[in-house]
Amino acid sequence: MTIGTPAHAAVVDPTPPTPPASGITIDINGDDGSPSASILALLGITLLSVAPALLLMMSSFTKIFVVLAMTRNALSLPTIPPNQVLAGLALFLSLFIMWPVLTDINQVAVQPYVDGTLTFAQAIDVGQGPLRDWMLSYTREEDLALMSRAAGWPTRPIRRASRLHTLIPAFMISELRAAFVIGFVIFVPFLVIDLVVAAALMSMGMMMLPPVMISLPFKILLFILVDGWGLIVRSLLESYGGGG
């Protein structure tokens, strides 16, 4: 009986792994070079998320809201109109004032970017121009110098060398100052009414009666007779050159 030689399995060398394809890129633009719809939707959602901060820092909203709130306090009506009403009025007045600036930004930056003629970085650089010029026109030189010194930059020339991260706080300081000046002018006639009513009550020996209860109807009557809300809104619009 013959025993055959056992067969040995052939040894096969392992196949080397296939290297990944080089030069893989992600194209965020469409076929014609314009941004894709998903990118535009993402940018829109991002803009909506930061819109409240932009509205407070880079528009006339802060000044208008502060003036309206100080008018309400001068009338001794701390909750009427409510904050939602004042914020809504301030929002639409801000849109009315900022509309020419928004139109310019749309023409020079947004539409060229959507059409594919500008990159995103170029659109940001061009689009901040109209807004920056508008903010500079309502920012005091002293506030720009303050922020430039805080940043350690030369204070001359201030306006040409100002950047957004120094221009924005300087603009807000200027807006708050202007709002407080307007609020002081609004407070004066109502303060006179309070003083007259308080003096009259003390002369009659009615010291236990709060003067606000007596002066409030006279304040409201005076505010109605001079068309207070219309006068304040017209003054705010004229302080920005009329807006719209």
**pLDDT tens digits along 129-147:** 888 888 888 888 888 877 7
Q: Indicate whether 208 pLDDT > 60.
A: yes
Helix (H, G, I), strand (E, B) or coil at 35: strand
Q: 199: which 2 tokens? A: 């003096």
Q: Report the pLDDT value the prediction gives residue 28, as an integer from 0 to 100.
A: 53
Which residue did the predictor score with more confidence, 90 or 52? 90
Residues 6+ apart with CB under 8 A from 123: 109, 110, 112, 113
Give the chain's count of helices (H) and strands (E). Answer: 10, 0
Mean pLDDT of the chain: 76
Residue 15 is encoded by which pair of tokens?
């196949």
CA 204 to chain CA centroid, Å, is 51
In this prediction, residue 43 has a pLDDT band, given cuts at 50, 70 and 90, of low
Helix spans in 116-163 (H): 120-137, 141-151, 158-161
Q: So what's the pLDDT on residue 39?
A: 61
Closest CA to 70 of 171, 62, 239, 143: 62
Average pLDDT over residues 104-119: 78
pLDDT over 70 at 68, yes or no: yes
Name the residue ranges covered by the structural domains of the chain.
Answer: 52-239
pLDDT at 24: 47
* Alpha-carbon dihedral 54, 172, 174, 162, rounded to 10 degrees: -80
